[in-house]
Amino acid sequence: MINKNYLSLSESYIFEKLKRDAASFRAGNPQCVLYDLSIGDVCGPLPECAADALAASSLEMKNKNTFRGYGPAEGYSDLREAICGYYRRRGVSLELDEVFVTDGTKPAVFDFLSLFSGVNSLVPEPTYPVFAEASLMHGFGVNRCFFDDGSPHTPENAHIPRDPIGAPYLIFLCSPNNPDGYALSRSELASWVDHAEKTGSLILFDAAYERFITSADVPHSVFELMGSRKLAVEFGSFSKFAGFTGLRCGWCVVPRELRVDNYSLNSLFRRALCTSSNGVSYPSQRAALGVLCEQGLSECSAFADYFRGNSRILADAFARISRGITGGENSPYLWVRTPRGVGGDEFAEILLRAAHVLVTPSSGFGRHDGEHFRVSCLCDRETAKNAAESVLNNAEKLLI
Ligand code: MLT
């Protein structure tokens, strides 16, 4: 009776476990302040344009004449038009019916995977745990390929198996990558597109951190690459972009020419959504529309700059006790290598006890080398400063 695929998951989702760890630390140490740099949750507030639109649309629900019931499963057309406009700024042209409003990357990935059966996923690691877990829950094979920390992520240096056993794949790419902040350059992403074409694979591109990109050579969308429209879908999210982790709104782009076994994935995805969803709430969609005006976008850039400031403060502190740090430039995460001889899980525990700083060990992002931990810089400035100070003040204990 039970879906046995679910039994292959670990006992807890990593961020649920970390929330429990934070609660138990607070309960056991009421005199201490905990600096929680684990889950990548933003500190807010919402950009003003989004907050105003949210308030106005909530009031519309109070009035019989402006009340909204079910909206379109794929989202209101003015928001989808604004998302198309956002892509046009980068020279990417999309049709309105290629854009689906979602309530975030997780549910969109789930709905999208439901279009497949008997397939293998290719999951470069370390990466967002949802890709492998969602694949397992759908009964797919999961092939992992490893990103070596610090070296460029290209098919040539073995991040894609040379002999692609198990292809065609659903290839999950997250760029800038959660957790190590690595952002694929145009030529690296082009290699993945070539690889997908050669192996008949499909790229599922997670662009949740695109607003943090500062490097000129890093594409913001897989659709900036020639030939990608027939082999990629893209997931976007307002969560980290505009502080929507609590509000929920994102999007998924499924190009019309994308076909598998001669079926249109755009039509199948639309069909699946109509059954699985009644759309994202009207106020969330109005708030998202508020983000996509000039003022909203400039507020979002300031939001990303603020977190970049946190990254600098935290990177300076962690540099004192680690064997190397990546990330922070194009993403709100630092990927920190533990001091010699200490594993990621063990060091996260030491950091919590000695400096009261909670981070996510690399074991949460797959079967990586186990020698890293992720620091989320999405906290407020005071937390970043205090956490950095606590790391520095306790450096001796941390280096033992
Ligand atoms: C993260 O911290 O990486 C995620 O945003 C948390 C999640 O989506 O579960």
Report DSSP letters for 15-82, one per residue.
HHHHHHHHHHHHHH-TTSPPEE-SS--------HHHHHHHHHHHHHTTSTTT------TT--HHHHHH
Ligand 1 midpoint to CA 127 (Å): 11
pTM for the structure as a whole: 0.95
Q: For residues 363 and 338, is the Cβ–Cβ distance under 8 A?
A: no
Q: For residues 358 and 122, is the Cβ–Cβ distance under 8 A?
A: no
Planar angle of CA 398, 324, 306, nearest 5 degrees: 90
Atom 3 of ligand 1, nearest CA residue = 40
| Sequence-distant (≥ 6) Cβ neighbours of residue 122 within 8 angstroms | 143, 144, 145, 160, 166, 167, 169, 170, 171, 172, 201
Collapse the DSSP code of 370 into the 3-class scheme (helix H, G, I; strand E, B; otherwise coil) and give the result. coil
Sign of the torsion angle spanned by Cα atoms 387, 392, 396, 400: positive
Indicate which atom in ligand 1 lies nearest the CA of residue 105. 8
Side by side, the strands of the sheet bearing 99-102 are 99-102, 250-253, 232-237, 202-206, 169-174, 120-125, 141-146
Ligand 1 midpoint to CA 240 (Å): 10
| Sequence-distant (≥ 6) Cβ neighbours of residue 96 within 8 angstroms | 77, 80, 81, 84
Q: For residues 248 and 101, is the Cβ–Cβ distance under 8 A?
A: no
Is ligand 1 within 6 A of the CB of residue 17? no
Which residues in the chain land under pLDDT 70?
Answer: 147-164, 367-369, 400
Indicate which atom in ligand 1 lies nearest the CA of residue 106. 8
pLDDT value at residue 166:
76
Q: Are strands 169-174 and 202-206 parallel, antiparallel or unpaired?
A: parallel
Residue 246 backbone phi and psi in degrees, to 5? -90, -25
Q: Which two tokens stand for residue 17?
A: 């476990």
Q: For residues 191 and 156, is the Cβ–Cβ distance under 8 A?
A: yes
Collapse the DSSP code of 307 into the 3-class scheme (helix H, G, I; strand E, B; otherwise coil) and give the result. helix
Ligand 1 midpoint to CA 250 (Å): 14
Indicate which atom in ligand 1 lies nearest the CA of residue 38. 2
Which residue from 45, 47, 71 is spatially nearest to 285, judged by alpha carbons? Answer: 71
How far is it, in rounded angstroms, from Cα 383 to Cα 145?
A: 35
Helical packing angle, 294-319 and 381-393, nearest 10°: 10
What are the pLDDT digits (tens) for 240-280? 999 999 999 999 999 999 999 999 999 999 999 999 999 99
Ligand 1 midpoint to CA 15 (Å): 7
What are the pLDDT digits (tens) for 331-344? 999 999 998 888 99
Substitution site in 14, 15, 36, 375 for ligand 1 pocket (most atoms within 8 Å of beta carbon) = 15
How far is it, in rounded angstroms, from Cα 367 to Cα 134?
A: 16
pLDDT value at residue 124:
85
Atom 5 of ligand 1, nearest CA residue = 40
Q: Which two tokens stand for residue 393?
A: 């003040």
DSSP 8-state secondary structure symbol assigned to residue 147: P
pLDDT value at residue 188:
87
Q: For residues 34 and 25, is the Cβ–Cβ distance under 8 A?
A: yes
How far is it, in rounded angstroms, from Cα 254 to Cα 283?
A: 24
Q: For residues 183 and 241, is the Cβ–Cβ distance under 8 A?
A: no
Is ligand 1 within 6 A of the CB of residue 40? yes
